[in-house]
Structure formats: C-alpha cells, structure tokens
Amino acid sequence: MLRDALLQLHRDLKSQKLRTLLTVFGLVWGTVAVTLLLAFGTGLKKQLIKTTAGLGDRICISWPGLTSIPYQGLGKGRRIRITDEDLQSVRPRVDGLKRMSSEYSDGWKMVYNLRTFPVDVSGVSPEFGDMRNLIPVPGGRFLNDLDMRDQRRVVFLGNKVAEDVFGKGTDPVGKTVLFNGSPFLVIGVLTAKQQDSSYNSRDSDLSWIPGTTFRALTGRKYLSNFVYQPASALESKAVTESLRSALSRRLKFDPEDKEAFSVWDVTEQFQFFEVFMLAFTLFLGIVGSLTLVVGGIGVSNIMNVVVDERTKEIGIKMALGAKSGAILRQFLVETLIVTAIGGLAGFAISLGICAVFPASLEEYVGRPEVSPVVAGITVGILGIIGLLAGWFPARSAARLDPVVAMKM
C-alpha cells in the first residue's frame, strides 16, 4: 500500500510542482520554527541552571547577625556568634541535612617569586567543595579530611588567581606560596566555570584552605558564615527551619528572628527556573506550532486539489469494489508522506543551524539542543497536523458516490 501510495503521490504532485513546492516549504518552515524555538528554550534552561549551579548545587548560605526580637530576658541588638562546635552540636538533630561547612573569610597577601598579590582566602571543610561545585583541574584535588585533621598548610586556588600568580599555561600544583609569611603547598586549581552570582567574590578570584588551619593561624573562633545542603531541594525549607530552631536553643535567640539567622536559599532559584522555563517552553512550542499549522493548511489544500483531479479514478475504484476505508487510508497515507518529507527537511535544517551555532553566544543564551524530548514533541505535532490536514480531503474522497464520480 505504501509503494502504491508513493507512486500515485508522485504522479499527482508532479502535475502541481509549484503548489507542491510551496506546500512542502511551509512544512519545512514550520518544522524549523517549532524545532529551533524548543531547542533554544532547552539550551537557555540548561544555561540558566548551569550558571546558577556555579554558586552551588542547591545549597543554602547562612550568616549570623543581630537579634531583632527580645528573647528570655535578653534584649534585641545582640550579636549572634557561631562556632564550628555549635554547628557540629546541632547537626545530628537536623533531619534531611546532607552536607554542612563553616566558612572563615579574610583578605591575605600571597607572595610568590618576590611578587605580592592580594587574595581573598576562605577556611572551609572538604564538604564545601562538593556543595559549591569546586571541581579541580585534572592533576589536582580539593581539601580532604587529613588536611583538616592535621591542620595542613595547603591551598586550593581559583583559576584566575592561579593564572595571575603563575602565568597562563603553568601548572601550579606542587608549588609553594606564602600567605602572610606562612608557606602553603598548592594542591589544586579550580576548573573554570560559569557563575552568575556570588556572596563574596567570584570563585575564580578566591582561594581555600582548611578551616582548622585558618583558625590556628588567625586565632579566629567565630565563623563568617556557613553553607549547608539539604538531601532534597524539596526539603530545603524544612531543613532550614529545623536548623534555625536547633541553633536558637543553643545560642539563645528567638527561632522566628530572621535577622539573627539570615539565609540565602539557592534552591528557590532552581525551583523558579523550573516553573519559568516550563511556561516559556510551552509558549515557544505554541508559537512554533501555529507556524506549522499554516503549513498544514497548505497540505490540506493541495490534497483537496488531488481529490478533485482524481474524482473519476476514485469512482472507478469504488465501482470495482474498493471500500470507503481503503480510499480514506490511501489519501491519509499520501498526506502523511508529504508531511514527513517537509518534516525531515526541517529537522535537517534545524540540526545544521544548531551545529554551526556560534560558541561565543553560548554564555548568554546557551547552546540550542535538539534533544529527544524536542524531537518527540515536534514529531507529535507534525503527526497531528498531518492527520488533520489529510482527514478532511480523505473523508470527502471516501464519501463520493461512485456513479456521480465516474461522470465527472
């Protein structure tokens, strides 16, 4: 049946070359519109998530502040100070908490080869690297538990710091630098990453040492802030409230006091992006589908012309015993073939555009991607439009009266 439909379709469309060309072009244009709009939507979503994840993988960042509510006879305006011991004490009492790290921050001077560089240094724990997506360049590593336990003088450098100090193309791992006169071994360099927000500086401009080493060298007892990660992004608010409650009991402040314990919940940004991009993708899909509908109308028109030209042939077939269902299926198959030709050409053009998309623009809009989901949606829309475009001409052909049809 498919072979006969192809041969018959070739004969029919050969007599309507210009009309066929315009119809197929409409389908191609519509397919390109749907595919590219969805592909750019997918690329933009991934880019937004990627740049947001540059700050951290669904983390929460907290800063101790000043109380704004009196509590148990203690006045407001009291500074809340948190130590590592406080965090370790409340950690077992917080359900759903996956990781947590204190952070001590300061500006130090780094000396290498008699050159001095101002560098922002943070004292953190090994879990900090996983939460903040601090991925080392191959050949290096981030801080580990032995570094913390032994108060080792090791440092993990941001990629821009490493480039400024050691020069581009030089591997700093294994070299020694001085921080405020103390020697530190470089154990790793940050892999360059995209980051659209920060709370101190961009990670490329920072350096990290073990928190225990930081406290030993500076005598600092109270942390600057701390970072924690819920086991699930959906549990973020519950984990924050549980942690706030546990700390309030230990440090004597009202658990409802947002000023005493402020939190930046990065997971909310991810949830916002999910909802926003879903709505945005639906909008793009609808706009592209409307363009494809125009092409479907063209297919329906040309199939109506084909039915008119073959009316006598249809009458003869029905007189010889052809069923209405067979006539209906024949024209539906021919319509779907035309739709498939336009769709395949549109897919090829879309893939070509995505392949040559300038890398310089990826940082702003992401890289368009014809994912399996995008391809599936486009094929589904094409199939629906093809069926609707062919149904009405095919139904008209199937309902012809053989006697009347043979006289035309």
pLDDT tens string, the chain, 408 residues long: the values are 556 655 665 665 665 666 677 777 888 888 888 888 888 888 887 777 766 667 787 889 999 999 988 888 888 889 999 999 999 999 999 999 999 999 999 999 999 988 999 999 999 999 999 999 899 999 999 999 999 999 999 999 999 999 999 988 889 999 999 998 899 999 999 998 877 777 888 899 999 999 999 999 999 999 999 999 998 888 889 999 999 999 999 999 988 888 888 899 888 777 777 788 788 878 877 887 887 787 788 778 777 777 777 777 767 777 777 677 777 777 777 777 778 888 888 888 988 988 888 777 776 677 888 878 778 888 888 888 888 888 877 788 777 776 666 665
Q: Which of 312, 357, 303, 363 is nearest to 335 (CA)?
A: 303
Same domain, 114 and 249: yes
Same domain, 115 and 133: yes
Mark whether 79 and 199 lie in a shared domain.
yes
Do 95 and 22 fall into the same domain?
A: no
- Residue 31: predicted pLDDT: 84
Same domain, yes or no: 275 and 219: no
Residues 81 and 207 in one domain: yes
Q: Looking at 238, 265, 292, which one is the last position of a domain? A: 265
pLDDT for res 178: 95
pTM strictly above 0.75: no
> Quick one: CA dihedral 154, 159, 163, 169, positive or negative?
positive
Q: ∠ CA 262-265-268 to the nearest 5 degrees?
A: 145
My answer on whether 322 and 247 are in the same domain is no
Q: Do residues 352 and 208 both lie within one domain?
A: no
pLDDT at residue 126, as a whole number:
95
Q: List b or e across 227-251, with b for residues whose CB sees 16 or more CB atoms inside 10 angstroms.
A: bbbbeebebbeebbebbbbbbbeeb
> Residues 110, 168: one domain?
yes
**Which of 265, 281, 300 is a domain's end point?**
265
Q: What is the pLDDT of residue 142?
A: 96
Whether residue 313 is found in the same domain as residue 174: no
Q: What is the pLDDT of residue 156?
A: 97
Is residue 187 domain-shared with residue 334, that is, in the same domain?
no
Same domain, 41 and 85: no
Distance CA 351, CA 325 (A): 38
Last residue of a domain, one of 265, 287, 318: 265
Provide the pLDDT for residue 3.
66
Sign of the Cα pseudo-torsion (196, 200, 206, 210, in order): negative
- The domain tally of the chain equals 2
- Tell me the C-alpha distance between 32 and 37, whole Å: 8
pLDDT for 32 equals 85
Domain containing 355: what range? Answer: 2-52+271-407
